Amino acid sequence: MIDLAEQRKRVRRVLGQGRRWYLRAVLMMVIAVIAASRGGQLNYAIGIVMVLLAGLSVSLGRSMRKSARESLAKLELLDAGSRQSAAGNRSQ
């Protein structure tokens, strides 16, 4: 079984991955604006596809960060519960 410190480390890694998806979305939007501003049928198509991909990236980043925050809250509750039980065992 994985200890709480290792789980926290994994959750923080997922938070970082979610943040990177946000950055990818920004980069995709920049590419979409540049492609659309250059004109032409192919560039417009690339711009539209990049906007759609940026939306998906934002959605993925948000869901990853949300689940990571929920996991971190659960880990905090587990840690608080284990501290309480350890303190209760010491007082007996």
Task: Indicate the burial class of 50 (C-beta count within 10 angstroms; 0-12, 13-18, 19 or more).
Answer: buried
Query: What CA–CA distance (Å, rounded) separates 9 from 4?
Result: 9
pLDDT for 90: 66
Least Cα distance to 22 among 67, 69, 57, 66 occurs for 57
Contact 26, 53 (CB under 8 A): no
Percent of the chain with pLDDT over 70: 91
Tokens 């590419």 map to which residue?
A: 31
Query: What CA–CA distance (Å, rounded) separates 83 from 75?
Result: 12
pLDDT for 1: 58
Tokens 């596809």 map to which residue?
A: 49
Sketch the domain layout of the chain as residue ranges.
4-83
Query: What CA–CA distance (Å, rounded) separates 69 from 30?
Result: 29
pLDDT for 81: 79
pLDDT for 82: 77
pLDDT for 85: 75
pLDDT along the chain (92 residues), means of 10: 82 94 96 93 95 97 95 88 72 61
